[in-house]
Amino acid sequence: MKIGEVAQVIGVDAHVLRHWHDMGVVVPDRAPSGHREYTDEHIRRLRIAQACRRIGMSLAEIRGVLHRGEAGRGEVIEERLRWIRSQRAQLEDAERFLEHVRDCTHDLLTRCSDCSRYAEAGPHADRRTGVALSAVIARH
């Protein structure tokens, strides 16, 4: 399959596929004409690469996932698993906090020890969650 068709099937721009090729993520065959030629196997790998991109992995990390021989592969995967678990823990904290805020009967959030405790609980490092929560606190 030619790069233009693959781009349509996968739903990315052709330049992205060329970049992934240059970075060694998914390296297509070359047709005698010199054009990139993608097999079904390449397309399966591209879909895996896409799934990895959706969870925020870098191209170097994705190369590690796709190529068993890649140096540091296990560490890359463990690091991403730690990140995912940390994100999940933060989201669960945020969920509990918001469920509490929704039902909290204090007129001022700062007078509620449960509300305050969440804010003091430490580095809730995810900035997006932080911004969203400060908006909630301001309105509370």
Binding site for Zn ion (CB under 5 A): 104, 112, 114-115
- Residue 96 Cβ, how far from Zn ion at the closest point, in Å? 11
Distance CA 21, CA 62 (A): 12
Query: How far apart are alpha carbons 67 and 65 in whole angstroms?
Result: 6
In the complex, least distance from residue 100 CB atom to Zn ion, rounded to whole angstroms: 5
Q: Which is nearer to Zn ion, 40 or 107 (CB)?
A: 107
Q: How far is the CB of 109 from Zn ion (least distance, A)?
A: 6
- Lookup result for tokens 């309105």: 139
30 or 111: whose CB is closer to Zn ion? Answer: 111
